[in-house]
């Protein structure tokens, strides 16, 4: 007889495995089957990318899925993001660096996907989830009427006989195969193409080894050779290279490019990738002569969105089977956490007879817009890689935005309560307008920059206002009023930050205009631009909020960035 389940998950990658665990934790009596073409043991290290997490995804994995002890024991703590900018052909220690000097709570992790997915399969089976390995899914047949069951057609092992299971809910977790997306014609590509290749090397591939030990100051500013535990980004015009440690004794490396700048054909084999690295990141190529890769994989045109991810007809797509954001800020696990939690909520409401099309529509809007806005913002960031000062300010803007406006969604489950989220984020429209203004501002700054500013090293969590905002927002179990107060405080802090960035950009692009902006002048942050002819018309000098002292934030950032404005230019001011 055909077996019937509450939920059938097609595919057992990270998204599907974590969804199954979350469903079982929330509803212990639910019946779940998972089908996957791969059988254990899955290979460790050279298996899948997506190793780097940030605080939102790490909270989902450790707290929501109750796996804190497991991650602490079996995967590396992540030492935040680290960026190396500037001249790629000179001494490595002379490149401007953005990164942390020590670990900070709450933890995020560098994840070996092979190890994690092997262990999750075992955990799920122990929880009573049925796992069918070595299965090839031939088709997913969606029910034509509301109360009918969906069907999954599959073969098992060497037996080519079609088999069928039925389920009330069908979840597509087949990765880039995207069975439902393609079947229902829901695929939605991005306009600009970005591609990637990646490989692993055995042992420790450490940026500290790029710099002689005689450069003591460089090594001591991040002591004990812990740069290795960061997600290291080596950035140049239109590209970045990642270096990520894996707890199983390997290091992951990858090349990601904007194809308009670096066509995929120039690095899509290991031989070509090595030659590409020799030209653009010679320090990496030199080290690779000593540590040969154990694998090589590639993925052209990797980002995409979807017209729909969830349906009130009881089907859903999770992880890569739904949407895929640009990996520059490691948002993949965030999206899995948001998507899985929404599906879990919908399945629970369905079992209670309370699931409505409105709830499903809201879930679709949230996750699709989140993916698209994150990816569009990251793609705009590629334009900044060639300018160290603009990139430093853009990075601070982006990471502060994530902590202030994304982290509370997960840490306090706000995305699952639209009405509560609306109360908390009543003033968010202000921030979106400000963020859109800043997107254009950064583009204009890149175009007009005179490169008057520079820095050697920015440890961004030694900047007091940055650390304060992170600490305040990365907390769980807040009351509604605490969330509202923190949200208002974050918007006020961004209003101040915009004005400080604006003055930095004026000093870089047109220092002769600085006299118009004394330190105690409070501006309309929503009217900033680098077009002096627009300042009056846009209301730059007509703020609608009460003035606040910008000197503390300005001084904090001045300790990080130095300007090379000439004596003659300052005298003119």
Per-residue pLDDT for 16 more than 70? yes
- Tell me what pLDDT residue 572 has: 47
Residue 566's pLDDT band (boundaries 50, 70, 90)? low
**Over the stretch 165-222, which tens digit does the pLDDT of each residue have?**
999 999 999 999 999 999 999 999 998 889 999 999 999 999 999 999 999 999 999 9
Per-residue pLDDT for 564 more than 90? no
Name which of 11, 228, 251, 13 is nearest 114 in CA terms: 13
User: Which H or E run contains 110?
Assistant: strand 109-110
> 3-state DSSP: the chain helix, strand, coil percent, rounded to 5?
50, 20, 35
Residue 8 pairs with which residues in a beta bridge? 33, 170
Residue 571's pLDDT band (boundaries 50, 70, 90)? very low
**Over the stretch 424-463, which tens digit does the pLDDT of each residue have?**
887 566 888 999 999 999 999 999 999 999 999 999 999 9
Q: Are 92 and 243 in contact (CB under 8 A)?
A: no
Q: Are 282 and 88 in contact (CB under 8 A)?
A: yes
Q: Percentage of the chain with pLDDT > 90?
A: 92
Name which of 183, 100, 159, 173 is nearest 131 in CA terms: 173
- Tell me what pLDDT residue 335 has: 98
> What separation in angstroms does the CA of 553 have from each of 33, 477, 495?
54, 29, 12
What would the mean pLDDT of 343-367 be, rounded to a whole number? 97
CATH architecture of 81-109+191-299: 2-Layer Sandwich (3.30)
- Tell me what pLDDT residue 46 has: 62
User: Which H or E run contains 182?
Assistant: helix 179-183
Question: Which string of b and e fits 378-388 if b means at least 16 CB within 10 Å?
Answer: bbbbbbbbbbb
Whole-number Å distance between alpha carbons of 451 and 563: 9
Q: CB under 8 Å to 320, separation ≥6 — which residues?
A: 13, 15, 175, 176, 178
177, exposed or middle or buried, with CB in 10 Å at 0-12, 13-18, 19+? middle
Sequence-ordered strand ranges (E) for 145-205: 150-156, 159-172, 187-189, 194-202
The distance of Cα 552 from the centroid of its chain, to the nearest Å, equals 30
Residue corresponding to tokens 């990658």: 13
What's the token pair of residue 566? 């000439």
3-45+113-185+308-377 CATH fold: FAD/NAD(P)-binding domain (3.50.50)
Q: Are 338 and 410 in contact (CB under 8 A)?
A: yes
**Over the stretch 524-556, which tens digit does the pLDDT of each residue have?**
999 999 999 999 999 999 999 999 999 999 999
Whole-number Å distance between alpha carbons of 539 and 439: 19
What would the mean pLDDT of 470-479 be, rounded to a whole number? 97
**Over the stretch 381-439, which tens digit does the pLDDT of each residue have?**
999 999 999 999 999 999 999 999 999 999 999 999 988 888 888 756 688 899 999 99
**Over the stretch 477-512, which tens digit does the pLDDT of each residue have?**
999 999 999 999 999 999 999 999 999 999 999 999
> What separation in angstroms does the CA of 227 have from each of 103, 277, 550?
11, 21, 33
- Tell me what pLDDT residue 145 has: 86
Q: CB under 8 Å to 238, separation ≥6 — which residues?
A: 257, 258, 260, 261, 262, 382, 385
- Tell me what pLDDT residue 426 has: 78
Per-residue pLDDT for 162 more than 60? yes
| Average pLDDT over the chain, rounded to an integer | 95
- Examine residue 106 and say whether the peptide bond preceding it is cis (omega within 30 degrees of 0): yes
Whole-number Å distance between alpha carbons of 358 and 133: 36
pTM of the model: 0.96
What would the mean pLDDT of 146-162 be, rounded to a whole number? 94
Domain boundaries in the chain?
Answer: 3-45+113-185+308-377, 81-109+191-299, 388-572
**DSSP track, 231-268:** EEEEEETTEEEEEEEETTTEEEEEEEEETTTS-GGGTS
What's the token pair of residue 465? 């206002």
Give the Cβ contact number of residue 314 at 10 Å.
24
Residue 570's pLDDT band (boundaries 50, 70, 90)? very low
Give the Cβ contact number of residue 43 at 10 Å.
14
Residue 559's pLDDT band (boundaries 50, 70, 90)? very high
- Tell me what pLDDT residue 428 has: 62
């Amino acid at each position: 007889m055909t077996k019937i389940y509450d939920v059938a998950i097609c595919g057992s990658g990270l998204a599907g495995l974590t969804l199954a665990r979350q469903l079982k934790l929330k509803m212990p009596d639910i019946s779940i089957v998972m089908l996957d073409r791969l059988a254990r043991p899955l290979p460790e290290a050279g298996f899948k990318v997506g190793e780097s997490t940030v605080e939102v995804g790490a909270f989902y994995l450790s707290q929501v899925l109750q796996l804190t002890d497991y991650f602490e024991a079996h995967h590396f703590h992540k030492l935040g993001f680290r960026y190396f900018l500037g001249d790629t052909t000179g001494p490595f220690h002379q490149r401007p660096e953005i990164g942390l000097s020590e670990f900070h709570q709450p933890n995020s992790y560098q994840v070996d996907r092979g190890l994690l997915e092997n262990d999750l399969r075992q955990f799920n089976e122990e929880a009573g989830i049925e796992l069918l390995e070595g299965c090839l899914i031939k088709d997913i047949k969606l029910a034509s009427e509301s109360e009918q069951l969906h069907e999954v057609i599959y073969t098992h092992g060497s037996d080519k006989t079609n088999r069928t299971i039925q389920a009330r809910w069908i979840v597509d977790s087949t990765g880039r195969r995207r069975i439902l997306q393609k079947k229902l014609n829901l695929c939605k590509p991005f306009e600009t193409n970005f591609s990637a290749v990646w490989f692993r090397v055995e042992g420790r591939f450490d940026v500290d080894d790029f710099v002689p030990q005689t450069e003591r100051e460089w090594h001591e500013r991040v002591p004990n050779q812990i740069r290795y535990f960061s997600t290291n980004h080596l950035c140049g015009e239109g590209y970045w290279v990642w270096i990520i440690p894996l707890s199983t004794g390997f290091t992951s490396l990858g090349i990601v490019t904007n194809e308009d700048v670096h066509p995929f054909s120039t690095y899509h084999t290991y031989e070509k990738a090595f030659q590409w690295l020799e030209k653009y990141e010679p320090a990496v190529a030199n080290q690779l002569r000593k540590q040969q890769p154990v694998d090589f994989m590639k993925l052209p045109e990797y980002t995409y969105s979807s017209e729909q991810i969830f349906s009130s007809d009881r089907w859903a797509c999770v992880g890569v089977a739904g949407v895929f954001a640009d990996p520059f800020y490691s948002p993949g696990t965030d999206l899995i956490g948001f998507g899985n939690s929404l599906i879990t909520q919908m399945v629970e409401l369905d079992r209670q007879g309370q699931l409505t099309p409105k709830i499903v529509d809201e879930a679709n809007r949230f996750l699709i817009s989140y993916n698209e806005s994150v990816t569009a913002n990251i793609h705009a960031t590629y334009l900044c890689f060639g300018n160290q000062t603009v990139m430093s300010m853009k990075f601070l803007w982006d990471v502060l935005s994530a902590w202030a406006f994304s982290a509370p969604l997960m840490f306090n489950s706000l995305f699952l309560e639209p009405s509560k989220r609306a109360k908390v984020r009543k003033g968010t429209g202000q921030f979106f307008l400000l963020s859109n203004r800043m997107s254009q501002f950064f583009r204009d700054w890149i175009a007009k920059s005179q490169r008057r500013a520079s820095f050697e090293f920015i440890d961004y969590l030694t900047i007091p206002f940055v650390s304060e905002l992170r600490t305040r927002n990365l907390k769980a179990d807040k009351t509604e009023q605490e969330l509202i107060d923190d949200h208002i405080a974050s918007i006020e802090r961004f209003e101040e930050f915009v004005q400080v960035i604006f003055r930095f950009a004026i000093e870089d692009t047109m220092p002769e205009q600085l006299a118009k902006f004394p330190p105690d002048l409070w501006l309309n942050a929503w009217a900033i631009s680098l077009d002096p002819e627009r300042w009056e018309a846009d209301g730059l000098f007509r703020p609608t909020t009460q003035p606040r002292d910008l000197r503390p934030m300005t001084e904090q950032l001045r300790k990080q960035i130095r300007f090379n404005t000439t004596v003659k230019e300052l005298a003119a001011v």
